[in-house]
Amino acid sequence: MKDRLIKIKEQASAALQNITSKQELESFRIEFLGKKGCLTEALRSMGGLSAEERPAIGKLVNDVRSFIEAEIETLSDRLDKEELLKKLEQEKIDITMPGKKRPLGKRHPLTTVLDELTDIFIGMGFTIAEGPEIELDYYNFEALNIPKGHPARDTQDTFYINDSVLLRTQTSPVQIRVMENNKPPIKIIAPGRVYRSDAVDATHSPLFHQIEGLVVDKGITMGDLKGTLDAFCKKLYGESIKTRFRPHHFPFTEPSCELDISCPACNGSGCRVCKDEGWIEILGAGMVHPKVLEICGIDSSVYSGFAFGIGLERTVMRRFGIDDLRLFYENDLRFLRQF
């Protein structure tokens, strides 16, 4: 028995010299100290020893076990250090090398101009209002004095989800919701996405952006509308810009108008940009129809107001000389990096 234990110790010592990995070390531990290991087998045979032999053999078994465990621990520490050094060598960073340049993003041209327009109106005392893009027919049409059977409700022009739910065709429903839930004075702009069933081409898209404005208070007149929009145009295009108001018709305003500005490219003398007319249409506006005020619970005999709507895409196209609306949505970096 004694010779067997000495041989196990010698075998263990020899095997430890050839171990080069933690996996091999674990296999060694199982081979010598595991449940079916050679040292465990030797312990099981101690039952056949005499009472006089057991103390000496027991001490020898403990010595061999302690030797193997100590060697395993020492070798494990060494292998851990070697593995760490190897990993550090493989993953070391040369701090003298130039870093990888990560390109910085830019604001989209639509966002740039939207922020500019918003800042102008906020500077004039307007606040921002928002509403759902999936809208009820009532808010998108009926409350805006567009009854059933009106051409604007045509399914060829509007994305209907069902008979009473649709994708909003304008941000005007936000104005209705604000008037329903707030008492005058009201002075808001409602920027956001709108949807119409248009074929995609250079000047049309089924998705585009609008900025609509609303002012309701006592004594609001067409003069307030003209003064506000004239000041807005001068802020946006420069003090030299001229404005022109033309009669028009919108179901939710009365009277209604369209606003033209003198062509920034030719100062009104006529060019390719303005089709030799000297003027460019930029928005529609008008005095809020009394029926719309009454629908929202506002007494039209006491209060009046004006509203206007600006198409963001076409404003940006004029600003940067862009001739194809589709460029805004194609995410072509060659286009976007110009702004």
Count the neighbouring beta carbons within 10 Å of the beta carbon of residue 11.
13
d(CA 282, CA 274): 12
pLDDT tens per residue across span 298-324: 999 999 999 999 999 988 988 888 888
Identify the band that residue 48 occupies on the pLDDT scale cut at 50, 70 and 90: low
Q: Is the pLDDT of residue 46 over 70?
A: no
67-81 pLDDT, tens digit per residue, is 888 888 888 898 888
Q: Which residue has the higher pLDDT, 265 or 21?
A: 21
| pLDDT band per the 50, 70, 90 thresholds, residue 215 | very high
Give long-range contacts, CB 8 A cutoff, 24+ apart: 316-324: 316/109, 316/110, 316/113, 318/264, 318/273, 318/280, 318/282, 319/113, 320/109, 322/109, 323/202, 324/202
- Mean pLDDT (whole number) for 2-17: 79
Q: What is the DSSP string of 37-48?
A: SHHHHHHHGGGG
74: Cβ contacts below 8 Å, ≥ 6 apart: none
Higher pLDDT, 1 or 221: 221
- 221 versus 89: the higher-pLDDT residue is 221
Confidence of residue 217 (pLDDT cuts 50, 70, 90): very high
Q: Global pTM?
A: 0.68
Please give the single-letter amino acid code of residue 279.
W
Mean pLDDT along residues 171-175 = 96
43: pLDDT strictly greater than 80? no
SS3 196: coil
Class of residue 304 by CB neighbours under 10 A (exposed 0-12, middle 13-18, buried 19+) = buried
Tell me the two tokens of residue 14.
């020899």
| pLDDT band, very low/low/confident/very high, at 47 (cuts 50, 70, 90) | low
In the numeric block, which tokens belong to residue 315? 């404003």
Mean pLDDT of 171-178: 96
